[in-house]
């Protein structure tokens, strides 16, 4: 279980740190470069990074499938991969919106992305881990992270929607 969490954290931090560089370098006045304004080379790099994250997460899930309470075998590993990768990226996006809103320095954001970017992935994996105390610890840490983020966002969901619309376009909403 600890190996699974550590590997997921490492894979998530490696990819999200590189994504942070991709989206913030040369943003010129914006907190990040929206998807529509990324160059074809950057879009290709984004696709490669997301594919690498999916493959790494799948490999970690396959090698450590006994650590999860999901069923062993292909279906359980695939579900674990989707939940960990999807939930981790959603958590990282939330953390990015918080750091942009709180006006963290660019360097601080990159350091956080490379060191703590894998935390949301590890928290989701912890929620899916076998010992119930690990589930409870991951749930508690997730709640603390979300509450801290909302405090830094001044309790406004509209800030998250604004960053979502900046990234994906004006028709993007959280529901």
pLDDT digits (tens, 9 = 90+) for 71-111: 888 899 999 999 999 999 999 999 988 988 888 888 898 99
Q: What are phi and psi of 25, to 5 degrees?
A: -75, 120
Cβ proximity of 1 and 128 under 8 Å: no
Cβ proximity of 57 and 142 under 8 Å: no
Report pLDDT digits (tens) over 24-66: 887 777 788 888 888 899 999 999 999 999 999 999 999 998 8
Q: Where are the domains of the chain?
A: 2-168
């Amino acid at each position: 279980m600890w190996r699974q969490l550590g590997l997921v954290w490492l894979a998530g931090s490696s990819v999200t740190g590189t994504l942070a560089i991709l989206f913030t370098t040369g943003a010129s006045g914006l907190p990040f470069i929206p998807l529509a304004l990324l160059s074809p080379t950057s879009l290709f790099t984004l696709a490669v990074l997301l594919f690498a994250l999916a493959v790494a997460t799948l490999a970690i899930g396959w090698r450590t499938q006994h650590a999860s309470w999901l069923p062993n075998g292909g279906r359980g590993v695939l579900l674990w991969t989707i939940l960990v990768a999807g939930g981790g990226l959603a958590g990282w996006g939330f953390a990015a919106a918080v750091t942009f809103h709180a006006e963290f320095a660019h360097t601080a954001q990159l350091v956080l992305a490379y060191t703590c970017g894998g935390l949301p992935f590890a928290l989701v994996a912890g929620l899916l881990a076998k010992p119930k105390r690990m589930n409870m610890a991951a749930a508690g840490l997730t709640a603390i992270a979300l509450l801290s983020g909302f405090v830094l966002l001044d309790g406004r969901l509209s800030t998250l929607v604004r960053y979502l619309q900046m990234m994906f376009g004006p028709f993007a909403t959280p529901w």
